[in-house]
C-alpha cells in the first residue's frame, strides 16, 4: 500500500484495516485511527501467526463475525456488520464494519474494511427504545412515501391498537404495508393534510383523529405528527399519541344532547333508530302531540315501525313509507350517498291528516335520527317556488326557471358544497377547508366565512327560497325535499334518470373531484350490469 494512501487512511476518523482471507486469516494492514480506537499497536494487530483482532470482538458477537469474514472470502462483494469491540483498556464499543472483498490474480482474497464507531448512536437508540417502551404514550414511525410504511411501533401503541398477543408479529406486518390501514376512509383526507402540513412547515402538527384497531373497533387518539431522520439519514414521520376514547365519548354525548336540542327547534318529532340494538327510541316530541307520552320510551324496531309510524301514515302513502324503511333498515343503504328522505301524509294529534317532511340523519355507526316536521302544503299557501339545481357540468341554480345571478362567487360555491353533501350538515370548519383549501381555520377565515354565509342568505332571501337551507347549531345543510337536483335524481336509481350523468360534475370546483370519481365508478357499474 502506497505511503500517500496510508497517510490519508491514518487521518480518517474511521478505522481502516485490510484482511487476507486465505488461511491463516490475518490482518495485513491497520490504520493509525484503528489503533487509536482499539488501543493496540500496528505490530500487535498484524501478527501473522494469530488473528488478535478477532479476539477483540465481543464473545457474543464472535460467531456472527466469523460468518461475516467467511461470506467475504467466498466471492467479491460488499457486506456490513454491527458488533461490539473490546479495546485494550477493557472498554466496549459498538462498531459498524463495512468490508469489500477482492480476489487477486493469484487466487487469494483480500478484504478492505472500514470501521466506524457507532457507540453513541447505539446509546441514543437504546435510550429512545427505553423511553418509548416505558412511556404510556403510543409511538409510531413510518416512511415519507406516498403509501407510508410502518417501520416501528412501541408496546403502548400495540396496546392502543389491541394487537393479539399470539399474533402480534403478524398484526404488525399487516400495518407495515401502509399506515393508511390504520385510518378509516372518512379520516384519510384529514390525515393526509396533517402529513402535508408537516412536510411544508417542517414542524410538528397536533390533532385528534380516529384509528382502526386490530379487532375492528375504533379508538380516538390525540397526538403529534413530526418529521425526523432515521439512522441511515432517511426522512420519516413519527407520531406520538394517547388514547382519549373515553373523553371523546363523553364529549360526543354532550354534543349529542346539544345537537338534539337544536334539532328539536326545527322538527316536531325525533326518533333514534339503532340498527345494532334493533330498537327505536322516541327522543323528542313537540308539546300537545299525542306522541309526547312516548318521549324517552324504547321499542323493538318492528313494533315501533308498526305502532308509531305505520299506524299514523295515510293509507295512500302506507306502502311507500313501508318500502322506505324496508330499504334503509333491512336491506341497508349500500353506497347511496344522499340522506334518505320522504314526504308523506300522517295523522296528527288532532286526528287530521297533515303533510310531513322526514329525513334520516346518520349519527354514529348504526345509529340514525329520523326527524319529522309538519309543513304547510303548497296548495294552501300558493307561495312555494320551484328550485332546480344543475350539478352535471357547471353549477347553476334556477328559481321558477329563472337562473340566480349570484353577486358573490364564494356564496355560490358554498351552496354547491351543501348540495354536494346531499342533505348532510356542514360545519364552519369543514366549509372553510373546502372554500379556502390552502388557508388554516382561524379568526380571519371564520370572519371571511361569516360574510359569505350572509351574502348567500341575502341572495336566497331575494329570490324567496331561503327555506332551501337549514341551519342547526351553526351547521348548515341543503333541504333536499325543497329542490329538484339532477344529482339526486340520478342517485335515485330510477331508469328515467339513468342518462343524466355525462361524465362531468361541478366543473367549477376542484374539491368536487371526489364525488366525480364516485359517480364515474357507479356509472361503470351500471354499464357493466347492462
Domains of the chain in sequence order: 3-117 (3.30.450.20), 123-243 (3.30.450.20), 264-380 (3.30.450.20), 385-529 (1.10.10.10)
- Grid cell of 33 as nine digits: 485511527
List the one residue out of 202, 209, 203 whose CA is nearest residue 188: 209
User: For the chain, first and last CA: distance in Å?
Assistant: 79
Secondary structure (DSSP) of 436-503: TTTS-SSHHHHHHHHHHHHHHHHHHHHTT-GGGEEEETTEEEE-GGG-EEHHHHHHTT-GGGTT---S
pLDDT at 408: 92
Q: What angle do CA 118, 119, 120 make, to 5 degrees?
A: 95
Secondary structure (DSSP) of 317-365: HHHHHHHHHIIIIII--TT--SPPEEEEEEE-TTS-EEEEEEEEEEEET
CA distance 105 to 258: 86
Contact 504, 448 (CB under 8 A): no
pLDDT at 380: 46
How many CB atoms are located within 10 Å of the residue 346 CB?
Answer: 21
What's the predicted TM-score (pTM) here? 0.40
**Along the 530 residues of the chain, how does pLDDT read in single tens digits?**
545 555 555 555 468 888 888 877 878 888 888 888 888 888 888 865 556 788 889 999 999 998 998 898 888 889 988 899 988 898 888 888 889 999 888 888 998 888 888 887 777 666 556 555 555 688 888 888 888 888 888 888 888 888 876 555 555 566 667 888 888 888 888 888 888 888 887 778 888 888 988 888 889 998 888 888 876 678 889 888 888 888 888 877 787 788 888 888 888 889 998 887 889 999 998 877 777 888 888 899 888 888 888 888 888 888 888 888 888 766 554 444 467 888 888 887 777 788 888 888 887 767 888 998 887 654 444 456 789 999 999 999 999 888 998 989 999 999 999 999 998 899 999 999 999 988 888 888 899 999 999 999 989 988 888 889 988 888 899 988 888 999 998 888 788 888 899 889 999 898 998 888 888 876 554 444 44
Amino acid at each position: 500500500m502506497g505511503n500517500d494512501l496510508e497517510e490519508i487512511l491514518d487521518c480518517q476518523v474511521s478505522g481502516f484495516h485490510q484482511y487476507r482471507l486465505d488461511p491463516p486469516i490475518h490482518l495485513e494492514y491497520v490504520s493509525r485511527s484503528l489503533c487509536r480506537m482499539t488501543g493496540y499497536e500496528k505490530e500487535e494487530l498484524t501478527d501473522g501467526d494469530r488473528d488478535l483482532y478477532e479476539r477483540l470482538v465481543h464473545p457474543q458477537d464472535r460467531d456472527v463475525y466469523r460468518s461475516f469474514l467467511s461470506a467475504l472470502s467466498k466471492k467479491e462483494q460488499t457486506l456490513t456488520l454491527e458488533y461490539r469491540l473490546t479495546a485494550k483498556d477493557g472498554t466496549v464499543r459498538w462498531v459498524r464494519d463495512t468490508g469489500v472483498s477482492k480476489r487477486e490474480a493469484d487466487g487469494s482474497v483480500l478484504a478492505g474494511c472500514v470501521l466506524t464507531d457507532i457507540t453513541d448512536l447505539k446509546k441514543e437508540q437504546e435510550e429512545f427504545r427505553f423511553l418509548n417502551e416505558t412511556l404510556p404514550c403510543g409511538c409510531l414511525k413510518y416512511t415519507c412515501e406516498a403509501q407510508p410504511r410502518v417501520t416501528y411501533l412501541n408496546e403502548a401503541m400495540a396496546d392502543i391498537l389491541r394487537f393479539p398477543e399470539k399474533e402480534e408479529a403478524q398484526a404488525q406486518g399487516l400495518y407495515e404495508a401502509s399506515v393508511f390501514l390504520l385510518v378509516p376512509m372518512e379520516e384519510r383526507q384529514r390525515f393526509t393534510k396533517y402529513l402535508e402540513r408537516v412536510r411544508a412547515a417542517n414542524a410538528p402538527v397536533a390533532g385528534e383523529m380516529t384509528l382502526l384497531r386490530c379487532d375492528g373497533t375504533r379508538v380516538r387518539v390525540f397526538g403529534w405528527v413530526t418529521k425526523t431522520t432515521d439512522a441511515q439519514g432517511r426522512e420519516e414521520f413519527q407520531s406520538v399519541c394517547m388514547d382519549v376514547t373515553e373523553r371523546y365519548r363523553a364529549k360526543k354525548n354532550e354534543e349529542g344532547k346539544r345537537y338534539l336540542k337544536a334539532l328539536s327547534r326545527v322538527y316536531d318529532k325525533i326518533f333514534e333508530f339503532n340498527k345494532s340494538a334493533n330498537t327505536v327510541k322516541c327522543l323528542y316530541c313537540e308539546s300537545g302531540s299525542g306522541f309526547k307520552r312516548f318521549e324517552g320510551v324504547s321499542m323493538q324496531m318492528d313494533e315501533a315501525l308498526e305502532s308509531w309510524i305505520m299506524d299514523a301514515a295515510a293509507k295512500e302513502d302506507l306502502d311507500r313509507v313501508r318500502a322506505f324503511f324496508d330499504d334503509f333498515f333491512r336491506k341497508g343503504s349500500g353506497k347511496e350517498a344522499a340522506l334518505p328522505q320522504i314526504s308523506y301524509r300522517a295523522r296528527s294529534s288532532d286526528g287530521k291528516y297533515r303533510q310531513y317532511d322526514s329525513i334520516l340523519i346518520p349519527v354514529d355507526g348504526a345509529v340514525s335520527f329520523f326527524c319529522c316536521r309538519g309543513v304547510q302544503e303548497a296548495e294552501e299557501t300558493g307561495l312555494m317556488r320551484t328550485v332546480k339545481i344543475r350539478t352535471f357540468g357547471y353549477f347553476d341554480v334556477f328559481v321558477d326557471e329563472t337562473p340566480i345571478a349570484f353577486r358573490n362567487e364564494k356564496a355560490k360555491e358554498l351552496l354547491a358544497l351543501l348540495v354536494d353533501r346531499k342533505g348532510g350538515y356542514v360545519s364552519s370548519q369543514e366549509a372553510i377547508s373546502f372554500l379556502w383549501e390552502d388557508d388554516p381555520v382561524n379568526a380571519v377565515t371564520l370572519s371571511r366565512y361569516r360574510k359569505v354565509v350572509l351574502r348567500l342568505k341575502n341572495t336566497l332571501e331575494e329570490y324567496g327560497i331561503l327555506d332551501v337551507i337549514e341551519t342547526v347549531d351553526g351547521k348548515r345543510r341543503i333541504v333536499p325535499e325543497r329542490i329538484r337536483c339532477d344529482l339526486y335524481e340520478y342517485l335515485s336509481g330510477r331508469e328515467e334518470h339513468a342518462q343524466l350523468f355525462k361524465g362531468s360534475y361541478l366543473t367549477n370546483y376542484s374539491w368536487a373531484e371526489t364525488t366525480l370519481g364516485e359517480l364515474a365508478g357507479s356509472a361503470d357499474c351500471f354499464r357493466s350490469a347492462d
